[in-house]
Chain A
């Protein structure tokens, strides 16, 4: 209807937001949800710290500058038996009572990473210990999730004091028997200042590691100890909160400092893996899932029967995908190695449900039964987790998809967690993202294709009639991307009342009612819909002295906001936006057009805007075209960018007058 929706506007603003208007359960890729990402991989130690990282990401909007992490030490030791011991010490300064929420500290853990020691104290402003937090004051909770099962838990410490400022000293230890990665280093957790942080890692002789730091450059010292072990020490400090609440600022994941440290080789689930090349990791995953694609004889016969009559391999894939969609549902279960290793195909065959890994593996098994080759792939999906670093081999993935090769020239990507999306449709969550195709030694990293209709501009056509104080619209528009996924879900689940609600949710306007809405597929463009609706907007017109004032209803920039006087961030436009609105007003009998805004064209390096009007005897046609170009600009360009948007807003807000002569 409008192209840059209120939601998109906000998405653009935060850049890292996962569409939330879908309702948490409604987005096709169920793995899209943040916790799933964590849970789906949760048995890997690194992800526990990533949990930190991610919760911090989402909590970053409320940043503040006074309270600070004074000292944050992470000390990792790999013992000669290759187990990992992590000691963490944190000294936090609580400046005033309004920062009391920082006095609540949570430490996440699960069965694979038990906390073996924990201690917390309240120190006064001279850092003298006032009180030690008692064992019974530390509470233990399950991270209550919408998943069917998860063994992820946290310990909560509440360290309050009445005399500000004061300090909290937190010490704890975790032990890992098996791990794919060392804890992620995130010095500025919860977006507060970090005065000093150090990360040290001691490894036995002959043990190799890889590491990379993002958005910061810590200092480094490497010492060889007498016993042959090697100690790496990295230091950083004076890191200050990032304000990404500004509109069109880069996502936090692209600016916040974090470090990844991984072992060169590891043993997990009794299998040795390496992290030298992507093919090493892919090979390890291939071995991890080996043999999990066995189906019962009965099921194999069923599959053969289903596909026997079709001659094209692609047709068979289609049939089996439909079979998967009709018979299974997504349910998250995370425990033990289930975090990384899928439940086997037999399990899914019986229960008819599974998580992204289990369903992908099951689909692979179905195809195998029909003698079609496919590859299990792990993928760095969504835009909330840290972006993939293709030059750094590590488990940077949070979701699973399937790559099918029905013929030498054809590649099909299948998302196996959704019962609704079209065949071979990759959602906004997984398109254009890096996936590791697991094929033993021949594993490789590849980018998934962009959507088929990615570059189709969005269009809205509307016919408006006047009825007393109300404006009635008959509209037709194209929807795709997240909007398509959102709406398509309710179409496919046949929930008409939720469909109407979804429609309301998508319009960033008040005081309107929908009288009719219908959707049609667009055959030449998978993953898009044509929406037709009838809308009545109450109290929208104002009559006086034989004149009707019509204020614009559909807007390309529906939201207004403050001008940021002291802009901190560069301008970051995350994607190309291209919209066209054309609205035809029927001029009521015995009225004529009294005023229409001038035709205008605005051009700028950021984008383009054009509006024009065509008046005839009985109609007035308004055409608006708006594009923004994907790019990023230094902070100095911000005033110009704002001026461009303001100008569009002003042009768009102009009223039209009809008058009785």
Chain B
């Protein structure tokens, strides 16, 4: 996949106003009669045409952008009725708002061989204020039946030229034809990012219009870009992936620079360095906004006479357990330290900058690290775009090495980033000397999800039951998830999840290190279950805790990378005491195999003595992300792991 970059430069000349016209062919009887989508016979609905015209106009003494869009959707069956709805989110802030200036919705239905057309206009729209900043405009199409076609045409104006709307070629239903015409504005320069996947544009042209743009009495030369993509399959999200937005076929626009009428030019898209320079003052202002408070907090938490790392730990723990993350991200601060200390609530940037302020005051080198979370999508290194970031965390430089800190989750162990941050690279925000480069840091989990489980199984002949002692140790994100569960008193789901075979009763359960995220979460369990018998044989499942009861990779083929977001390292130690008078009939053979350049490994060793069967399973994955080409190997690997983890040991009484 390539992402062509193109800067759109415009020259000033005389011209006429750009026209918006998305005329589609007439709806025919045969269109309405169609019962299956030619592109995908299983589709419940499909977008037959999606045509957009994106241009600028002068409005309220400024330039706004306009999107004129026409979408025609075919509903094949009742399951597709949900697509016979219109839904549009409009943004607003205190000063400006996006406006829906034209709207028309039409449904076409076949009745007794004749096309019945029903149209409704803007008056039928329902408007709902979602919350600060968003309005939802909705409509359900009237008169829908299986086979109906619906079409809506609207025109939206927006003053938010910084974030020009993206054009999506792909949706969760097939799209037969999608085209966008973009008429540039001589005063705004955009770069655009195109993701066309493996498809080829049927139209991909640009041409200049000498009178394309009108401002006041003058007209200017503009450039027009046209893209058309046909037969676009429905997007199907797959497990273990970052946001679909990373993979959907679309065009994104980013403002690069703009001109004032006076001719003065402002750069928006500059260099990473310049971006940092612009950010630094506001961050520094926050960090230094309340020295007195910072000093008094440090005094209270008492970190005198400890090593740098101990100091960092104490400060981080203080912030993490006393400040509530309001689940808003972004790199902006909306309050200063004073407000944060009062409300105890802040967004990630505020809480983490507050942490930096305390760390720095304690003499520890700490800087903001900007990143894009997994659900926000990937970063394009070639484009220094602030909007691509949505999260601020902390990078600490210590003599023992660099590490990350994040104070938004009290269950995080020291030095581990929240899992949502494991997404490519983060940019350090610090002043960079003229000839130095900005620094990106890889966002990897500093620790694997290490799971160690020791199992001791004993047969109680009297009650004909198996007694199992389990000692489970968890670290990393898995420990974090379990901690969250335990804190809410949800032990039973853990038990259900962890143990899936047999009729068991939990005799004892002990959780250790629940509130010590730096340590392994330890769960001790005593479980008893009836022995599984078949004639004179007893069958024992060695993995009472078995995360591999089935292969999580179920898809036949994979289109997108498999992005796990965590590393895993599992050791299962099993010790089965052989009752007197019993012999071993079957144990699985010793096995060892690797896959995907040894980033995946499995090992099973069994040792049998007179009194014991000992088994060791080691399953490791040392890579975060696999390309689709590795999918079959990956799937096969787990297929074999599942088979081996579910084999039972068979013992029988001596005859």
Name A residues whose Cβ lies closer than 8 Å to a Cβ of B: 25, 62-64, 97-98, 100, 103, 131, 137, 139-142, 144, 148-151, 158, 160-162, 245, 326-327, 329, 331, 333, 350-353, 419-420, 469, 490, 492-498, 510-511, 539, 542, 544-545, 549, 560-563, 594-595, 646, 649-650, 653-657
Once bound together, how far apart are the Cα atoms of A380 and B150, in whole Å? 36
Contact of B140 among A140, A151, A353, A420 (CB under 8 A): A353
Residue contact B345 to A158, C-beta cutoff 8 Å: yes
Residue contact B326 to A158, C-beta cutoff 8 Å: yes
Contact of A148 among B42, B126, B322, B650 (CB under 8 A): B126
Residue contact B44 to A495, C-beta cutoff 8 Å: yes
Known contacts A495-B79, A563-B506; 4 further A-B pairs (Cβ under 8 A): A97-B410, A493-B77, A544-B650, A563-B505
Given A351-B142, A493-B78, does the pair A549, B492 have CB atoms closer than 8 Å? no
A644 to chain B, nearest CB (A): 12
- Chain A residues within an 8 Å CB radius of B550: 510-511
Residue contact B140 to A351, C-beta cutoff 8 Å: yes
Considering the complex, give the chain A residue whose CB is closest to the CB of B650.
A544
A28 to chain B, nearest CB (A): 12
Contact of A657 among B81, B82, B535 (CB under 8 A): B535
A417 to chain B, nearest CB (A): 13
Task: Report if B462 contacts A (CB, 8 A).
Answer: no
Stretch binding the partner chain, chosen from B50-58, B283-291, B482-490: B482-490
Bits for B117-149, please: 1 = Cβ < 8 Å to A, else 0. 010000000101111100010111011110000
Stretch binding the partner chain, chosen from B65-73, B420-428, B496-504, B620-628: B496-504
Residue contact B534 to A62, C-beta cutoff 8 Å: no
Bits for B632-648, please: 1 = Cβ < 8 Å to A, else 0. 00000000001100111
Interface centre among B44, B324, B496 (most CB of A within 10 A): B324
- Chain A residues within an 8 Å CB radius of B132: 139-140
Residue contact B344 to A545, C-beta cutoff 8 Å: no
Task: Report if B558 contacts A (CB, 8 A).
Answer: no
Contact of B534 among A144, A327, A329, A595 (CB under 8 A): A595
- Chain B residues within an 8 Å CB radius of A350: 118, 142-143
Task: Report if B539 contacts A (CB, 8 A).
Answer: yes
Once bound together, how far apart are the Cα atoms of A510 and B639, in whole Å? 13
Given A97-B410, A657-B535, does the pair A492, B492 have CB atoms closer than 8 Å? no
Residue contact B586 to A545, C-beta cutoff 8 Å: yes
Considering the complex, give the chain B residue whose CB is closest to the CB of A330.
B81
Given A63-B489, A353-B140, A545-B585, does the pair A140, B324 have CB atoms closer than 8 Å? no
- Chain B residues within an 8 Å CB radius of A563: 505-506
Once bound together, how far apart are the Cα atoms of A646 and B139, in whole Å? 54
Once bound together, how far apart are the Cα atoms of A211 and B81, in whole Å? 44
Once bound together, how far apart are the Cα atoms of A562 and B646, in whole Å? 22
Given A160-B324, A329-B144, A594-B535, does the pair A140, B78 have CB atoms closer than 8 Å? no
- Chain A residues within an 8 Å CB radius of B266: none
- What are 6 A-B contacts defined by CB distance under 8 Å? A469-B643, A539-B642, A539-B643, A542-B648, A562-B492, A654-B532
Task: Report if B114 contacts A (CB, 8 A).
Answer: no
- Chain B residues within an 8 Å CB radius of A594: 535
Task: Report if B343 contacts A (CB, 8 A).
Answer: yes
Residue contact A549 to B502, C-beta cutoff 8 Å: no
Task: Report if B9 contacts A (CB, 8 A).
Answer: no
Name B residues whose Cβ lies closer than 8 Å to a Cβ of A: 42, 44, 77-79, 81-82, 85, 118, 126, 128-132, 136, 138-140, 142-145, 321-324, 326, 342-345, 410, 487-490, 492, 495-496, 499-506, 530, 532-535, 537, 539, 549-551, 585-586, 642-643, 646-648, 650
- Chain A residues within an 8 Å CB radius of B504: 560, 562
- Chain B residues within an 8 Å CB radius of A419: 78
A595 to chain B, nearest CB (A): 4
- Chain A residues within an 8 Å CB radius of B503: 560, 646, 649-650, 653
B539 to chain A, nearest CB (A): 7
- Chain B residues within an 8 Å CB radius of A142: 128-131, 136
Contact of B126 among A333, A496, A511 (CB under 8 A): A333
- Chain B residues within an 8 Å CB radius of A161: 344
Once bound together, how far apart are the Cα atoms of A431 and B129, in whole Å? 38
Residue contact A353 to B533, C-beta cutoff 8 Å: no
Residue contact B535 to A562, C-beta cutoff 8 Å: no
- Chain B residues within an 8 Å CB radius of A469: 643
Residue contact B78 to A657, C-beta cutoff 8 Å: no
Once bound together, how far apart are the Cα atoms of A524 and B262, in whole Å? 84
Residue contact B78 to A492, C-beta cutoff 8 Å: yes
Considering the complex, give the chain B residue whose CB is closest to the CB of A511.
B550
- Chain B residues within an 8 Å CB radius of A97: 321-322, 410
Once bound together, how far apart are the Cα atoms of A656 and B534, in whole Å? 7
- Chain A residues within an 8 Å CB radius of B130: 141-142, 144
Residue contact A25 to B490, C-beta cutoff 8 Å: no
Residue contact A420 to B131, C-beta cutoff 8 Å: no
- Chain A residues within an 8 Å CB radius of B500: 560
Given A63-B489, A333-B126, A549-B648, does the pair A544, B642 have CB atoms closer than 8 Å? no
Once bound together, how far apart are the Cα atoms of A493 and B80, in whole Å? 8
- Chain B residues within an 8 Å CB radius of A498: 79
Residue contact B488 to A131, C-beta cutoff 8 Å: no
Once bound together, how far apart are the Cα atoms of A656 and B585, in whole Å? 16
Once bound together, how far apart are the Cα atoms of A100 and B551, in whole Å? 37
Given A158-B324, A655-B539, does the pair A326, B145 have CB atoms closer than 8 Å? yes
A555 to chain B, nearest CB (A): 11
Considering the complex, give the chain B residue whose CB is closest to the CB of A147.
B138
A454 to chain B, nearest CB (A): 27
B127 to chain A, nearest CB (A): 9
Which 10 residue pairs are nearest across A and B when measured between Cβ atoms? Answer: A510-B550, A595-B535, A162-B322, A493-B79, A655-B534, A563-B505, A351-B142, A160-B344, A149-B126, A544-B586
Given A64-B489, A595-B534, A650-B503, does the pair A331, B140 have CB atoms closer than 8 Å? yes
Once bound together, how far apart are the Cα atoms of A327 and B78, in whole Å? 11
- Chain A residues within an 8 Å CB radius of B495: 562
B492 to chain A, nearest CB (A): 6
Residue contact A25 to B82, C-beta cutoff 8 Å: yes
Once bound together, how far apart are the Cα atoms of A141 and B136, in whole Å? 12
Residue contact B140 to A549, C-beta cutoff 8 Å: no
Considering the complex, give the chain B residue whose CB is closest to the CB of A327.
B145
Residue contact A139 to B131, C-beta cutoff 8 Å: yes
- Chain A residues within an 8 Å CB radius of B549: 510-511
Once bound together, how far apart are the Cα atoms of A495 and B489, in whole Å? 40
Given A162-B322, A561-B496, does the pair A420, B78 have CB atoms closer than 8 Å? yes
Once bound together, how far apart are the Cα atoms of A131 and B145, in whole Å? 58
Once bound together, how far apart are the Cα atoms of A542 and B537, in whole Å? 13
B103 to chain A, nearest CB (A): 16
Residue contact A137 to B539, C-beta cutoff 8 Å: no
Residue contact A653 to B343, C-beta cutoff 8 Å: no
- Chain A residues within an 8 Å CB radius of B642: 511, 539
Given A352-B143, A511-B549, does the pair A653, B532 have CB atoms closer than 8 Å? yes
- Chain A residues within an 8 Å CB radius of B78: 329, 419-420, 492-494
A97 to chain B, nearest CB (A): 6
Interface centre among B128, B145, B488 (most CB of A within 10 A): B128
- Chain B residues within an 8 Å CB radius of A352: 142-145
Once bound together, how far apart are the Cα atoms of A103 and B343, in whole Å? 12
Given A539-B642, A542-B648, A545-B586, does the pair A148, B138 have CB atoms closer than 8 Å? yes
Once bound together, how far apart are the Cα atoms of A41 and B420, in whole Å? 40
Residue contact A562 to B505, C-beta cutoff 8 Å: yes
B641 to chain A, nearest CB (A): 11
B502 to chain A, nearest CB (A): 6
Once bound together, how far apart are the Cα atoms of A245 and B44, in whole Å? 39
Once bound together, how far apart are the Cα atoms of A308 and B345, in whole Å? 69
- Chain A residues within an 8 Å CB radius of B77: 493-495
Residue contact A493 to B44, C-beta cutoff 8 Å: yes
A614 to chain B, nearest CB (A): 18
- Chain A residues within an 8 Å CB radius of B530: 646, 650, 653
Residue contact B342 to A131, C-beta cutoff 8 Å: yes
B243 to chain A, nearest CB (A): 20
- Chain B residues within an 8 Å CB radius of A646: 503, 530
